Amino acid sequence: MRSDYAVVGKRIPKLDAPDKVTGRTTYADDLKMSGLLAGAIKRSPYPHARILSVDASAAEAVPGVYAVVHAGNVTQRPFGYGHDNIPLKDRVVRCVGDEVAAVAAVDAATAQSALDLISVEYELLPAVDDPFEALQPGAPRIHDELDIEGNVSMEWNFQTGDLAEAERRSAVIVSGSYSSPQAAPAPIETHVVIAGFDADGHLEVISPVHMVFMYRKELADCLGLDWRRVTVRQPPVGGSFGGKIDIDAHDFIAVMLARAAGRPVKLAMSREEEFTGTRTRQPIHFRLRTGAAADGTLQFRHAEVVSDNGAYNAWGSHALLVAMNTVTSMYRVGTSRLAAKVVYTNKNYGGSVRGFGNPQATFAVEQQMEELADALGMDPMDLRLKNANRPGDVTPQGLEITSCGLSECLETVRRKSGWDQRRGRMRSQHRGLGAAAYVHVGGGARIYGSDGCGAMIKIDDSGRVALISGSSELGQGSETALAMIVAETLGVPLEAVSVSHDDTDVKPWDVGVHASRTTFVAGNAARMAAAKARDELLEAAAEVLDRPARSLTIRDGVISVPGEPTATLRYEKAVRRRLLREGSSIIMTSAFYDPPTQRQDENHIGNISASYGFGAHVAEVEVDPDTGMVRVLGLWAAHDVGRAINPMSCEGQIEGGAVMGVGLALSEELPVEDGRFPAPNLHDYGMPTAMDAPPIDVTLIETADELGPFGAKGIGEGGIILPPAAIANAVADAVGVRPRSYPIRPWRLRRWIETGERSHVDKHPHPVPDENAR
Amino acid sequence: MRISITVNGDPVVRPVDPSDTLLSVLRGQLHLIGTKWGCLTGDCGACTVIVDGRSVVSCLQTVGQIDGAEITTIEGIAGRGRMMNDLQEAFVTHGAAQCGFCTPGMVVAAEQLLRDGVEPDGAAIREGLAGNLCRCTGYSKIIDAVLSVALARME
């Protein structure tokens, strides 16, 4: 693999880091506008109720109030997948936090006091917060306006192969149920949106959302705006983790308030609203069976799944898309079946939080790998390696595995953790090791007509290279990675490159930041635009140097002729020679990259991503058997990143994701009591602190993906997928009981230790002739 | 009431409601917007500033109680005429900032921890920064950055 790059592969500090460490970066809440009003939202205190009346007259009379909006005085259309949601609820509220009315006033205190004067009359309806109860006949109907049965919002079904035959081939079948909690992305910056119309009626929205073009369309569709007259600007984002992908009701409400008030309005979510009124990670319940032949060859996987959607369909309703990939395509499993129901409940609803269904699915799939191995008397790493996906595989869903470092990832964490010497041998100290591995999209994910991203490059007379990318920077370091890709492709110093990506009027179209796609898709677009700019630079230089362009090279900003040390030209000079003459031109290029992938068909078959990322973790835990307290002593992480454009940023993604995963595994959840979150705050939520975060040993495995920019694949989500599964497996190794749900909080583990929760293994389920146990 | 405080070395005299929070005075009145807020309940630490040599979450600190205090915010950490101090430079070179929203509070808390003479030891630094949540980094690179400065300042 090439390693003589000038920029790619170097540990480069993020370009935006100096401003961030000095407090100079301005986020949405730091922005001001002339005449800016403060908005506030009145939310439902009930999980399910009919709205009988809204009386806003007292609020409207408060001095300093500019606008009060509710369903009775605005024009709005439904939004969300299947149009099951509306910004200001008009008839029924379906979860605590549902938006009923809103106020814009001169300041936040006035807005809040006016809000308290809005009187809403409700008729309480029976509510259901458990998806299994919601499925029962006679359960309260959460969307009686929709033609659906049993509160089932959608179903996901897939099957391939002959399940009965695969069961007959299996020497061992393990079965079990595995559940995950409602959790939150919980960025430190809450959602803040500013909306204002100019005097000509053009709408500007400042929002940390990172699917800006879809956001613009949805705003316009719902509010009846001409979307050519809507500009979305994205300030630096104070963390998202998927929470800021979806458009939320408050986004529409900010625009409604600005329209009604005739002044710009800022809506800043409180921390409580961030938990109750913005998107969460949906609980997914798996009933899973996996079968293997006596030699460990996987025979089948069979999943019955219930996803607890919450009250409406946001992107979270599609998390099954990724969960299904894991069930059918993690390891060579062949015969697989999945039947999933996405079920409405009267709770805050699910979005597309980092990992998007994969941590939940991997928790089930990877625990069963270790349960199977134990039942077969095999080492779990050997079982994984035996069944590992390999380059050239096509999975049952049609995922085309190209670059694949899964085996190398497994071998790396096995070696580094001392797996062979230590697993299964530390129970007397209540310590254990557990592993898990993943497959995840790494080359975009075609969930929309286009999975493309545009890029434009201009080089000005100073030599400044400006990349204008369709993608967004959320803190993950994509801006720096894109600048590195451009600098490497053009052959100019990194400090000459700037990246802009914050304005829909300026930047080219992009689906948005999701599915670990930015480095791959936006990176390829940037690379293509930079390659064109390089060609133009060399042509300009060819005229000056009087040599054919194809004979020239450029590195570090110097254009030269190999073998002729005196024939050199700085690239800025080549730009100026083109510009400062009659018949002048400047260097300005563009490209649009759409990965060569397919949208999955109605049978969920299709190569959704241009490449796939893989990784493996081993976790080491120590359990206090008296209290049930689990401490993660260490985490070894190896990830196939294709090529690390910026190794420091790759590590940052993996370490940060892994600690979010440790939070999922051990502490983070939003339990519901009487239809509400009793403690929607950061004190009780259970986000890991520096003391809870284990030391993490990261190894980057480079497999040089054929289609990735310089071989890179996505890594934004990889880190978070594995800790729940790896830690559960480590707990099983330490104390011999099998966690069936996470977070593995002390009182739950203590109960499992008392009740002796074990694996459900069916050995020799059928009389198996030897020849079938290959 | 009128308070008289020193903020980043500058004298500040302001009429305030004593129950105003230091955060609202810093951000709303003095336009020192480098200090962020993430919860307003003292749980996240994003609004950490130094008050008379102690790390304080400014969202819970009422200004009525700190008349005469000396306050340092992220804007004043490096000292006059300097863009960054050694700790801020270490945050940059170690990759300790991602989205950057917790970073001002984290830098301020770490600076005070160093001034208090924290042991140059990962566990001690983790304990000292446990009041500052970071959702992006997993803390590893923050701890590395602070540790490197703790060691360098001992020399």
Q: Which helix (H) or strand (E) holds A576?
A: helix A571-579
- Domain A31-125+192-238+244-274: CATH superfamily, name plus number: Aldehyde oxidase/xanthine dehydrogenase, a/b hammerhead (3.90.1170.50)
A-proximal residues of B, 75-94, CB under 8 Å? 75, 77-78, 83-84, 88, 91-93
Q: Which residue of A has its CA nearest to B142?
A: A690
CA–CA dist A774, B19 (Å, integer): 75
Q: What is the mean pLDDT of residues A185-211?
A: 97
Band of residue A10 on the pLDDT scale cut at 50, 70, 90 = very high
One-letter amino acid for residue A259 of the chain: R
Q: Which helix (H) or strand (E) holds A540?
A: helix A523-545
CA–CA dist A447, A174 (Å, integer): 33
pLDDT for A57 equals 97
Q: Which of B44, B129, B137 sits opposite A656 (nearest CB)?
A: B137
Q: Cβ(A239)–Cβ(A189) under 8 Å? A: yes
What are the tens digits of pLDDT across the range A55-99? Answer: 999 999 999 999 999 999 999 999 999 999 999 999 999 999 999
pLDDT for A664 equals 98
Q: What is the CA radius of gyration of chain B?
A: 15
Question: Of A212, A361, A347, nearest to A286 (Cα)?
Answer: A361
What are the tens digits of pLDDT across the range A336-362? Answer: 999 999 999 999 999 999 999 999 999
Region of residue A516 (phi > 0: left; psi between -120 and 50: alpha; otherwise: beta): left
Half-sphere exposure of A107 (CA within 13 A, CB side): 3
Q: How far is CA A574 from CA A67, A261, A464, A506, A740, in A?
A: 57, 53, 13, 27, 65
Does position A247 have pLDDT exceeding 60, yes or no? yes
Of the candidate CATH numbers 3.30.365.10, 3.40.50.300, 3.30.565.10, 3.60.20.10, the domain formed by A160-183+280-445+600-763 belongs to: 3.30.365.10
Q: Which residue of A has its CA nearest to B133?
A: A689
Does position A548 have pLDDT exceeding 70, yes or no? yes
- State whether residue A650 is helix, strand or coil: helix
- A22·B40 Cβ contact <8 A: no
Q: Which of A26, A188, A696 sits opposite B135 (nearest CB)?
A: A188
What are the tens digits of pLDDT across the range A660-710? Answer: 999 999 999 999 999 999 999 999 999 999 999 999 999 999 999 999 999
pLDDT for A768 equals 45
Q: How far is CA A717 from CA A408, A478, A650, in A?
A: 19, 13, 11
Q: Cβ(A742)–Cβ(A181) under 8 Å? A: yes
Rounded to 10 degrees, what is the CA torsion of A427, A428, A429, A433? -10
Q: At what angle do helices A723-735 and A358-376 cross, to 10 degrees?
A: 30
What are the tens digits of pLDDT across the range A259-280? Answer: 999 999 999 999 999 999 999 9
Q: Cβ(B54)–Cβ(B65) under 8 Å? A: no
CA–CA dist A390, A402 (Å, integer): 8
B71, B136, B143: best to mutate for the A interface, most A CBs within 10 A: B136
Q: What is the mean pLDDT of residues A742-752?
A: 96
Q: How far is CA A454 from CA A376, A468, A471, A527, A589, in A?
A: 51, 8, 8, 11, 11
pLDDT for A3 equals 73
Residues near A324 by beta carbon (within 8 Å), at least 6 away in sequence: A156, A158, A338, A340, A361, A397, A604
Q: State the nearest Cα–Cα gap between B79 and chain A, in angstroms.
A: 11
Does position A772 have pLDDT exceeding 90, yes or no? no
Half-sphere exposure of A471 (CA within 13 A, CB side): 34
Q: What is the mean pLDDT of residues A439-453?
A: 96
Does position A769 have pLDDT exceeding 70, yes or no? no
CA–CA dist A670, A637 (Å, integer): 28
Stretch(es) of chain A classified as CATH 3.90.1170.50: 31-125+192-238+244-274
Q: Report ipTM (2 d.p.).
A: 0.98
Q: What is the mean pLDDT of residues A505-532?
A: 97
CA–CA dist A256, A368 (Å, integer): 50
Does position A40 have pLDDT exceeding 80, yes or no? yes
Which letter, b or e, does each residue of B117-150 get, where b requires 16 or more Cβ atoms within 10 Å of its Cβ?
ebebebeebbbbbbbbbbbbbbbbbbbbbbbbbb
- State whether residue A574 is helix, strand or coil: helix
Does position A771 have pLDDT exceeding 70, yes or no? no
Q: State the nearest Cα–Cα gap between B65 and chain A, in angstroms.
A: 22
Q: What is the mean pLDDT of residues A633-652?
A: 98
pLDDT for A759 equals 77
- A23·B33 Cβ contact <8 A: yes
Q: Which helix (H) or strand (E) holds A431?
A: strand A431-441
Q: Which of A26, A239, A690 sits opposite B130 (nearest CB)?
A: A690
Q: Cβ(B88)–Cβ(B82) under 8 Å? A: no
CA–CA dist A613, A603 (Å, integer): 23
Domain assignments of chain B as residue spans, ordered by start? 2-76, 86-154
DSSP string, A710-745: GG----TTHHHHSHHHHHHHHHHHHHS----BSS--
Of the candidate CATH numbers 3.40.50.1370, 3.40.50.360, 3.10.20.30, 3.40.50.620, the domain formed by B2-76 belongs to: 3.10.20.30
Could you identify the residue written with the tokens 């005429």?
B81
Q: Mean pLDDT across chain A, nearest whole number?
A: 96
pLDDT for A760 equals 81
CA angle at residue A89 from A87 to A93, to 5 degrees? Answer: 125
* Sign of the torsion formed by the C-alpha atoms of B90, B92, B93 and B95: positive
pLDDT for A758 equals 79
B140, B141, B144: best to mutate for the A interface, most A CBs within 10 A: B140
Residue length of chain B: 155
Q: How does strand A230-233 pair with strand A203-206?
A: parallel
Which letter, b or e, does each residue of A641-652 get, where b requires 16 or more Cβ atoms within 10 Å of its Cβ?
bbbbbbbbbbbb
CA–CA dist A32, A40 (Å, integer): 17
Q: Which of B96, B97, B133 sits opposite A188 (nearest CB)?
A: B133
B57, B99, B103: best to mutate for the A interface, most A CBs within 10 A: B99
Band of residue A763 on the pLDDT scale cut at 50, 70, 90 = confident
Band of residue A766 on the pLDDT scale cut at 50, 70, 90 = low
What are the tens digits of pLDDT across the range A278-297? Answer: 999 999 999 999 999 999 99
For residue A311, give both structure tokens.
Answer: 């009250």
What are the tens digits of pLDDT across the range A459-500? Answer: 999 999 999 999 999 999 999 999 999 999 999 999 999 999
Q: Which of B104, B133, B138 sits opposite A655 (nearest CB)?
A: B138
Task: Note the CATH architecture for domain B86-154.
Answer: Orthogonal Bundle (1.10)
Q: At what angle do helices B86-94 and B103-115 cross, to 10 degrees?
A: 130
Does position A770 have pLDDT exceeding 50, yes or no? no
> What's the CATH code, domain A17-24+452-593?
3.30.365.10
| Percentage of chain A lying above the pLDDT 90 cut | 96
Stretch(es) of chain A classified as CATH 3.30.365.10: 17-24+452-593, 160-183+280-445+600-763
CA–CA dist A656, B136 (Å, integer): 5
The runs of H, that is alpha helices, within B2-139 are 22-24, 86-94, 103-115, 122-128
Q: How far is CA A471 from CA A54, A425, A525, A642, B122, in A?
A: 41, 48, 10, 20, 36
Q: At what angle do helices A647-666 and B140-154 cross, to 10 degrees?
A: 120
Q: What is the mean pLDDT of residues B67-76?
A: 98
A-proximal residues of B, 126-155, CB under 8 Å? 126-127, 129-143
Band of residue A774 on the pLDDT scale cut at 50, 70, 90 = very low
B113, B135, B144, B146: best to mutate for the A interface, most A CBs within 10 A: B135
Bridge partners of A180, per DSSP, are none
Q: Cβ(B92)–Cβ(B145) under 8 Å? A: no
Does position A764 have pLDDT exceeding 80, yes or no? no
